[in-house]
Structure 1
């Protein structure tokens, strides 16, 4: 174990990724609103693969400079075609969400996928022939300390998202001068509470049991689970029919923007669930203003707290002791 740690510590780090504010979007309306409001780029995390390809090309046609994709968090056997399709779109970035995906990246399984491979899912192709995409480790890799950060960077990542298990003090301690340039900090998101194979849509809105006989009600309906306090937690399905339950109250790290910038962090992310275009615009404009030094974090926090439907909290970032 000590030998591995020493080798990891001596591994040269890659070149830092470009800075910016990036927004994870779940539909084309959100993606266009985010770009219009000043986001430097977007990640597309759509239920429909065909919608991902169409939106990526439309965003490029309108001049978007950076469009990434977010494959499912868990990949079942025989779902390799999902990754091949997404890579065939020639995205500018890819969220690496699991250790299996990280392993494949480390052994060169992703590499430079031939662009013609994009036709696997629906006959689509792309003429965009950019350099290899930027690989960003998502929070689900659970990067909670410097050793883990160096390990994932040594396996092909250009940036990592710190674990959501860290509070503000732990996050600040982890973000050293060495690792800060490779950190992509999530500033605003609905905390994912559960990620499960059980499909609430199929169970509640159909007589089927899987995508073969359920009629895919997830494409036509929105579901939420109401807890005993009356909060409604959104349920979202992915392309592999897995469900994620998101906390009703969004969590904000706006108070960490300036300290993180002083440490050297330059990549920030906002993650959307069901926000409409006007909400997306207000969110992106607020965080953009704080990042650019045009609005104080305290002022932004008061606005986010007062905004109907948001009522942001510090959540897991709150220091308990």
Structure 2
């Protein structure tokens, strides 16, 4: 693509943006005037009708009047050149697509701390999906309440991430977030909830990042997404739901006895547990750490692999739509 073709493409994107936001050329002149940008409607009309004669200063003035970034437009053009034809592309980048309708909002995110010193603690953050001023990817902004106090200001430190949210037509949304301050990248994946058809209540997704704390290691964990801030009681139940990683639940005798004596335990649910426990035990829970004693590493890794091959362990961790649907019953139990 040569320079002239770039200019024509930029003007196409600008016209698309103006049409989407009901901005006429006359309105654009008023917007520019309000920002003390001198440009006439004739100059704007000539730019759109005769792209070959448009000046760079005119493009800059138009972009400034519309409060859009010329550099972002150029990046979006570069991105579009790399994408396949629409008929072969199932990734939706442009927020003007109806698939984004309903997503451009603020959400509450909750996940269990990945810091080994804060095991079991629920971390809360605010995730914003914003429409970019130019045709292009959705902006994602995340602020996490770390719970840690700044030693100087004594204020709770907020961990900030920026990035993009992208929708896939195959049924997932992807959110890539970067914290430059912490040198951390967080990728979130949620089921595409078709918010352009139904209102959003809550859902569960997956997160891939490095763990918090002194030692950073790759971590995969679940994330709870809510349209409203959760109460303390709701957060208690979310903490449990975020630990559902297997089809079977491992629990010690002591933990089970404590659960069975909990007054909040539903009687029908309790009877289901008792019915299952009445059957002979057919699975064993083997702590991995206990297997390494006295076994050389070269043998340990092979034997561990052999044990896993024979085991009933799952082949992957998936977040099903059925699991996603459970989220709404914590937020709105009556529905």
Higher relative contact order (CA 8 A, sep 6+): 1
Structure number with larger C-alpha Rg = 2
TM-score, scaled relative to structure 1: 0.20
TM-score, scaled relative to structure 2: 0.20
